[in-house]
Amino acid sequence: MPQHLISVTVENKPGVLARVSSMFARRDFNIHSLTVGPTEDPTRSRMTVVVDGPVMEQVVKQLYKLVNTIKVSEHAPGEAIEREIMLIRVNADPQRRSEIVEAATLFGAEAVDVGPSTVTFQVVGEPEQLANFHELMKTYGIVSLVKSGRIAMARDAKNQKQQRSA
């Protein structure tokens, strides 16, 4: 089933997140990622929802019916800038530590904590980049992992045209 990336601008009020997530649950959609944060206007929040499902047209209509919804946008592939952040702690005995740090550097990961037998990295990037980094780190032994939900912002209209023609 395809994944859809939806941005929902809502009023910054209690209970809005629960209503939005309940709407997806009632329609039997699996939410892969849900992130909420403030916008440039402190009275509004923006939700980024990555959901598995067929066509989202009906879901978008249902989101607009929720009282606190201001705007809903479904982003087609390539039409949004997408990022996630991941913290990942891996086994790193002293003999292999420089090898692990060097491999992490190729992904733009930063060592944020070093222990006697582990290193914790922070990596920020597109979801595919984080997935690739995760796969690489499996070879060293992952001790712990936490990842944010996806955030997204529509590309500038000029950049969208360039992306489509590329």
> Residue 54's pLDDT band (boundaries 50, 70, 90)?
confident
Q: What integer is the mean pLDDT of 118-123?
A: 98
Q: In this predicted structure, what is the pLDDT of residue 155?
A: 94
- The answer to whether 108 touches 84, Cβ cutoff 8 Å, is no
Percent of the chain with pLDDT over 70: 95
Retrieve residue 102's tokens.
Answer: 């060097």
CA distance 131 to 12: 32
Which residue segments constitute the domains of the chain, with CATH numbers given?
3-75 (3.30.70.260), 81-152 (3.30.70.1150)
Is 45 in a helix, a strand, or coil? strand
Residue 147 has pLDDT above 80, yes or no: yes
Q: With 80 as the cut, is the pLDDT of residue 163 above it?
A: no
Q: How far is CA 165 from CA 26, 85, 160, 162, in A?
A: 39, 29, 9, 5
Mean residue pLDDT of the chain comes to 92
* Residue 165, pLDDT score: 47
Split at pLDDT 50, 70, 90, the class of 56 is: confident
pLDDT digits (tens, 9 = 90+) for 70-102: 999 999 989 999 999 999 999 999 999 999 999
What pTM was computed for the model? 0.83
CB 33 within 8 A of CB 49: yes
**CB of 84 closer than 8 Å to CB of 147:** yes
pLDDT reported for residue 103: 95
Q: Cβ atoms within 10 A of the Cβ of 100, count?
A: 22
Q: In this structure, are residues 89 and 137 in contact, taking their beta carbons and an 8 Å threshold?
A: no
Distance of CA 24 to the CA centre of its chain: 18
Average pLDDT over residues 112-129: 96
Question: pLDDT tens digit string along 3-37?
Answer: 999 999 999 999 999 999 999 999 888 899 999 99
